[in-house]
Amino acid sequence: MTSYRIPFDVLENFSRDVLIKIGVEPQHAAVVADILTESDRRGHETHGIGRLKPIYYDRVKKGILETAVKYDIVKETSTTAVIDAHNSLGHPISKIAMQMAIDKAKQHGLGMVVCRNSTHYGIAGYYTSMAAAQGCVGMCGTNARPSIPPTGAVENMLGTNPLAFAFPTDEDFDFNLDCATSIAQRGRIEQYVRENRPVPAGWVIDDKGQPCSDAQQVLTGLTKGTHALLPLGGAGEELGGYKGYGYATVVEVLSASLSQANFLRALYGTKPDGSAGPIELGHFFFAANVEAFTTLEEFKKSAGDIMRELRTAKKAHPEDRIYVAGEKECEAYHEQIKLGGVIIEPANQKAIDAMRAEQGLTQYVFPWDAKQDVPITMTEEKPNLKVCKYPEGAVQNMCLDKSMYVGDGCYHACSCHVRK
């Protein structure tokens, strides 16, 4: 099967409408869809549209994830707050929590908000970007389903526990570091399964301490507890695996102990009878108002100067460029916009087709729906373009170049419809 590029707004609208169909309120569905699409925009396909079905849609259908977004502020001071999310969708809750932290920082210099009983919230860097955009240093993290073993062990106990930082600069992008505390995160394994790729050596061990390269076996084993993702630094202490283990533990404590959230084995998402249950996580969000320390302009210039000087380091062969955190994501965003959106590979096409069929979203028509015998005719209005004979009522913005819309038809350069 062929992979296709789909415009970001189409994917975002589709994701939102899928979530609305399964009971999520429109304003909250829009937040989830925005964050999923933003991950794809930044080139982080591991947390984009590919996760809509397995992580959110399927869990709602199984009754282990609530569609209603409801929360209580169980404790609050001028600079802190504790939120109980009641198994709500993590994205809207986390956006609310980070904005609370930013608002407190703007008023008092610092703000920190923690959450309990929340759920998967997408890319951590989305929330730190909120802080940077508002003149703050942002930090956030979350615990997750057990995936990482302690150094010297083979049992997965800690989650991949991402830790993210962002701050404004005078460059074209904010510094934004969003990293799992494992070498690779679960989403990367899911991506390798979809792409039928082997897992690189050194990423994973089984319960006997042996490496494993079969992506599907690893993904299954992570759920069963027979496989574990190694922490940053890898197995043992020789290359510093204890450092990744230590940072993962820091995230676990800040996510769970401050908010009194679940932790470690309690996050397997398994009920006493062995059936699937909610995976209720803890998060933390921190913001520091730059102007409580120095002027925003001075901070941005200093941060930018540091980044520019880093790029002057003597390069290792055969590298021709040095990057700083956030730079590749910025370039990926502009490149994908230019190319027309995100690549949807066959596995994701099947997932999208399943959700569309189950929810009756027939107004969405995608390039892979076209059969070989679909008539393609030249148009009189723009003879250098072709019109795709989609069914009446089909979504119109299927073209990769939106300037090519004409009337009610979906016009496109002939290469757009099947571009890989």
Structural tokens at position 396 = 């119109």
Catalogue the E-assigned strands of 290-403.
342-344, 376-378, 386-388
Q: How many CB atoms lie within 10 A of CB 170?
A: 16
Q: What is the DSSP letter of 89?
A: -
Q: How far is CA 236 from the centre of its chain?
A: 29
Ranges of residues in the chain with a pLDDT under 50 are 372-420
Residue 318 preceded by cis peptide, ω within 30:
yes
Domain 72-183+230-298 falls in which CATH fold?
Answer: Ribosomal Protein S8; Chain: A, domain 1 (3.30.1370)
Query: 15, 7 in Cβ contact below 8 A?
Result: no
Q: How many residues does the chain have?
A: 420
- Exposed e or buried b per residue across 397-408, where buried means at least 16 C-beta atoms within 10 angstroms of its C-beta: ebbbeeebeeee
Structural tokens at position 361 = 């979203």
Query: 86, 265 in Cβ contact below 8 A?
Result: no
Domain coordinates in residue numbering, the chain: 72-183+230-298, 370-419
Over residues 359-373, the pLDDT tens digits come to 999 999 999 997 533
- Exposed e or buried b per residue across 71-109, where buried means at least 16 C-beta atoms within 10 angstroms of its C-beta: beeeeeeebbbbbbbbbbbbbbbbbbbbbbbbebbbeeb
The pLDDT, as a whole number, for residue 409 is 33
For strands 175-179 and 376-378, give the pairing. unpaired
The pLDDT, as a whole number, for residue 275 is 87
Tell me the β-bridge partners of 211.
205
Rounded CA Rg of the chain: 23
The pLDDT, as a whole number, for residue 387 is 38
For strands 80-84 and 110-118, give the pairing. parallel
The pLDDT, as a whole number, for residue 371 is 53
Tokens 């494992």, residue located: 182
User: What is the rounded CA–CA span in Å between residue 198 and residue 233?
Assistant: 20
Query: 249, 158 in Cβ contact below 8 A?
Result: yes
CA proximity to 91, closest of 58, 115, 112:
115
The pLDDT, as a whole number, for residue 394 is 37
